[in-house]
Amino acid sequence: MRTRFFTIHPTSLLALLLNAIFAVIPTLGQGLHAPPPGAERPTNMPLQSPGALASPRPLLAIEELGRAPLSNYGSLESVVQAMRAHRPLDLTVQQWRQQHPHAKYDQWAQAARRVLANGLHYDSGPLDLNAITTDRWETDDFVRETIEFNTAPWFRVPGYFYTPKNVPLPAPALVVFHEWGGPMLFGADRVSGESLHPAITQHRQKYTSGRALADWYAAQGYAVIVIDAYHFGRRAPRGLRGLPESYDPSQLDTETLNRYDAIVRQQLYTGVRELNWAGTTWAGVNYGDDSRCIDYLVSRPEVDPKRIGCTGLSGGGWRTNILAALDPRIKAAVSVGWMTTGDTQQAYNLSGAVGTFCLLPGVWDRIDIPDLVCMAAPKAVMVVSGTNDDLFPPLGQRDAAEQISAAYEWAGSKERFRNYAPAKTHCYDAEIQAQALAWFDQYLKATKAPNSNP
């Protein structure tokens, strides 16, 4: 048997050595953290795109809040903070502008809207609203219709539509949202019509200077639509844990109403899990319903489709933020009592509805809460943040306002954003209503807004 000998040219030997070195370099520094053979990280792991930060970014210190936190995770708080510190946040307007100094606003806004829309995980597809009117109520200022219409193949939604009197038609229109907090057995009825229960009367006195917001805006010359949000009012769960299949909350005594309300409120957290397991989100369901409200408005000959706005307090402010961000038919918005930054809010308050309704996996690692309003430019948006609001710390309110203002200036629409920060609690009282009306009149009725900035 003949033995074969191979010779290697010196340059080939050098090439082999270099290839071996380059093959080893990517694993240097990994040490014991390197995956064993056969257990390499799959290329589709979430950390690969857009990628966690190699070095953590500084987070807000609790002491900077100026308030004691309302919620805390105990010994696991530091773990969550570490996760947050490594989020890329690559699509916040601030970070994106630093990384793309020559880019235009529209490029960022399109990318940010895509992330938000995808993160809602909800699309009910095309459908016929099949809207009907079941009742009418008339005053000297407006006609209110009790309506029903489809917002999805699985939803038949109740609400009210107002046609203003004594104004030229078609009129500008508003989608008015009710709050999250308050008597959950009532939704649209909190902000519409005569009070049906002492609980509604107390709620209005506390938050809206005793007014039914939808009625008030209709009396000012606006067509208005308001619906029960998912899990509220006539859409609240029934037939479980002692809740009857059918009942009229307006006929309940206070003790029974409070007992039923507590059960419905507790089921919020079951509802969030149910929706997530159905592949969607609470915010997505809200946005789907709210966008269908605009579909309804543009179907009415009494409404000018080019002059539509939206407004609400608290959870209604949150819904205002998302609808203004994503639906191009909205031209003006007033968001009351729901603006902050993610860092301040996570450190201060994720309790109750604040931390429940806003769960959007795949969104808050890319963008931040102020970006919701940033991506609404050039729409005319006023954000109202009471500096005595117990749910949101002033530091987060101020930081958010600065970010939004800078984004609007970048978009060439600086004058179309206003931050109104009165020394008020969590409310939409008569003074705020007056400022909101002036804003809507300026951008939906083309009248001059007051020069004062209280």
From CA 436, how far away is CA 433, in angstroms rounded? 5
Global pTM value? 0.85
What residue has token string 């991506």?
Answer: 375
Q: What is the mean pLDDT of residues 44-55?
A: 54
Structure tokens that stand for 299 in this block: 């179907």
Domain span at 195:
132-444
Rounded CA-CA distance 192/368 in Å is 33
Q: Is the pLDDT of residue 12 over 60?
A: no
| Residue 46, in any domain of the structure | no
Number of domains in the chain: 1
- Which has more pLDDT, 34 or 227? 227
Chain segment 139-184, per-residue pLDDT in tens? 999 999 999 999 999 999 999 999 999 999 999 999 999 999 999 9
| 132, two tokens | 């009907």
Asked if 388 and 343 touch (Cβ cutoff 8 Å), the reply is no
- DSSP class of 390: T
| In a domain? residue 260 | yes
Indicate if the pLDDT at residue 89 is higher than 70. yes
Question: Is there a domain that residue 309 lies in?
Answer: yes
Q: Are the CB atoms for 271 and 237 separated by under 8 Å?
A: yes
Q: Are the CB atoms for 342 and 371 separated by under 8 Å? A: no
Residue 96 lies in a domain: no
In the predicted model, what is the mean pLDDT of the chain? 87
Distance CA 136, CA 219 (A): 16
CATH of the domain at 167: 3.40.50.1820
86 found inside a domain: no
| Residue 452 within any structural domain of the chain | no
pLDDT tens for 52-68 read 676 777 777 776 777 87
Confidence of residue 352 (pLDDT cuts 50, 70, 90): low
**Cα–Cα distance measured from residue 237 to residue 243, given in angstroms and rounded to the nearest whole number:** 8
The pLDDT tens digits of the residues spanning 398-407 come to 999 999 999 9
For residue 147, being part of any structural domain is answered with yes
